[in-house]
Structures are given as structure tokens and as C-alpha cells.
Amino acid sequence: MLLAPAVDLSSDEPDAPHCFLSRAMCKAFSAAYHPSYSDPSTWEDASSAQCDLRGLPPVLVQLGRLDFIFQHGDRLAAKANADGVTNWELDVHDDMPHVFAIFPSFVLPYAHVGVQKLSTFAAKSFLKGEDRDDTRDARAN
């Protein structure tokens, strides 16, 4: 399960007026996370939006539209779709901030909706057992 993932080192999102994350903050995180951040040719292994996503287990990408990095998760889901991955779900919530589901309900009452969606996805995935996407195996042949 991915909550508001920062997965695209190539992006340069405009500041989001209602998000506590800023462009400068995300660039600092990226530079700390990836030692060769200034060299785009090294991004593939560290930037999931540029990786081959086939063969991964089921994934839920949960996003709030008010999040500065909303587009990261949206691009990741589009990349999974382009790679032919069929076991991913995109869960988008209007008027919600970055990682809204982790907020206490007395701060953000809607957070329980995100938690419920995450719980349902986890339970469904565990009940199905390991439902891996088979496209990686097909690519190897």
C-alpha cells in the first residue's frame, strides 16, 4: 500500500497552496534519498515512475488531490497500467491532504475513510493469498 508516494524524481510540481509539503522540501528529500540526484541517467532504479512495474504483488495507491505530490501517484498508476499491470488499484480522494489517512480522526474526521479503504484492500489481498502479477514471467520468456 502506497500512501501519497514520492516516486518520480523527474517531476517539478508547482507548489500546492493547501499542502504542507513544498517544492524545496521535496527536492531536499530527493537529494538526501538519492546521492546522484543531479544526474537524471541514474534515476531509474530510485524513481518508481520510471521502473518496470511488472511482477509486483497487488498495490493500492492512495492519494489526496490537495497533496503537492498527487501527480507522482497518478503517474505511477499510469505507468503500472502502461506496463500491463492489472493488480493495482488507484484510490483518489478530493479535498484531502498528503497522507490524510494517518491523521487522527479528531483532527481530520475523513481520515477513517482512507483507513477503511486501506484495511479492506489489505484484508482482500491476504485472503486471496499471493496474487502476483504474471507479466514479469511472460517478459522473461
User: In this predicted structure, what is the pLDDT of residue 14?
Assistant: 64
Express each pLDDT in 28-84 by its tens digit: 766 776 676 667 666 666 778 888 899 989 999 999 998 888 888 988 999 999 999
> How many domains, in total, are found in the chain?
1
- Let me know if residue 3 belongs to a domain: no
**Looking at the predicted structure, is the pLDDT value of residue 108 above 90?**
yes
- Residue range of the domain that includes 108: 15-140
Residue 128: per-residue pLDDT = 80
Q: Can you give the chain as a three-state secondary structure string?
A: CEECCCCCCCCCCCCCCCCCCCHHHHHHHHHHHCCCCCCHHHCCCCCHHHCCCCCCCCEEEEEECCCCCHHHHHHHHHHHHHCCCCCEEEEEECCCCCCHHHCCCCCCCCHHHHHHHHHHHHHHHHHHCCCCCCHHHHHHC
Assign residue 93 the CATH number of its domain: 3.40.50.1820
Higher per-residue pLDDT: 43 or 106 = 106
Q: pTM here? A: 0.77
Is residue 7 situated within a structural domain? Answer: no
pLDDT (0 to 100) of residue 26: 66
pLDDT for residue 6: 82
